[in-house]
Amino acid sequence: MSYIHMARGAVVAAAMAVPVQAYADISQPASEIEHAWDHIQFEVTDRSERLAAFSELVDQADEALKQDPKNAEVMVWEAISLSSVAGEIRGPSALGKVNKARKLLLAAEEIDPNALGDGSIYSSLGTLYYQVPPFPIGFGNKKKAREFLNKALVQNPDGIETNYFMADFLVHTGDYESALKYVIIAEAAPPRPDRPVADQGRLRELEALKTKINSKLAR
C-alpha cells in the first residue's frame, strides 16, 4: 500500500473470481468482511476493481454497524477496509479515509482491546502511524507506531500479521537486522485454517520483504 498496506458494486464484484456478495451473511458480518477482504487484497490485481470492492466492504461494515453499533470486530474490519481504500486512491485525498479508520480503531479498543483475538487493533493502528505522513500533512508518528506494534505483539507474539507489520515498520526505519528477526518469526507462524488466502499472500510478501532486507544487509 502506498498510504496503507492493509501497508491494496455488484458489477465489479461479479467480475471477480469470488464475488464480495458471495461472502455476505448478516449473522457473521466481521467474518464475512474478513474473507472478502482476503480475496480482494491477495487475489484481485486490477486497481479499479480493488478500489470498488474495498469501498463496498466499507459500506457493508457501515450497514452492519447500524444494526450493532458496538460491534468492535466490525469496527476493526471497516477501519482495515478504509485503509485499503486509502491505499488504492493514494495522496492527500486518502487522508479522510485514514482519519476515519483511526477513529474506528480507537473506538473498537475502548469496547474490546482484544477484538478478533489476534492483535488486529494494535497492528492496524501501528501501521497507520508509520504509513501516514506526519504533521502537518497527517498524523504519522513512528514512536506511536512502535508502541502500537509492540502491543500487538504482546497479544499475538507468534502471529504472521503482527510480526510482518513489525518487520515492515523496521524496514521503514532502516533497522534491517531487527526486521529480519521478525520476518523469520512471521514465516514460522502457525497457519490459520480459516484464512488460507491471507496466509499465502502474507508469505509471498514476507519473501519479498526478506529479499529487500538481505539486499540492504549485503551492502
180 and 86 within one domain: no
Q: How many domains in the chain?
A: 2
Asked whether residue 148 is domain-assigned, the answer is no
Helix, coil or strand: residue 140 = strand
166 and 139 within one domain: no
C-alpha cell at 163: 510480526
Asked whether residue 92 is domain-assigned, the answer is yes
Distance in Å from the first CA to the final CA of the chain: 26
Domain that holds residue 187: 157-219
Rounded Cα–Cα distance for residues 147 and 29 (Å): 29
Which residue is associated with the grid cell 509492540?
150
Are 61 and 36 in contact by the 8 Å Cβ rule? The answer is no
pLDDT at 19 over 90: no
138 and 51 within one domain: yes
168 and 83 within one domain: no
> By C-alpha distance, which of 177, 102, 178 is closest to 144?
102
> Per-residue pLDDT tens for 122-181?
999 999 999 999 999 999 999 999 999 999 999 999 999 999 999 999 999 999 999 999
Query: What mean pLDDT, rounded, does the chain reach?
Result: 89
Which residue is associated with the grid cell 466490525?
74
85 and 33 within one domain: yes
Position 92 scores a pLDDT of: 84
Helix, coil or strand: residue 90 = coil
206 and 106 within one domain: no
Rounded Cα–Cα distance for residues 190 and 208 (Å): 20
Are 141 and 118 in contact by the 8 Å Cβ rule? The answer is no
Q: Whole-prediction pTM value? A: 0.88
> Per-residue pLDDT tens for 67-119?
999 999 999 999 999 999 999 998 888 999 999 999 999 999 999 999 999 99
Of 143, 165, 183, the position where a domain reaches its end is 143
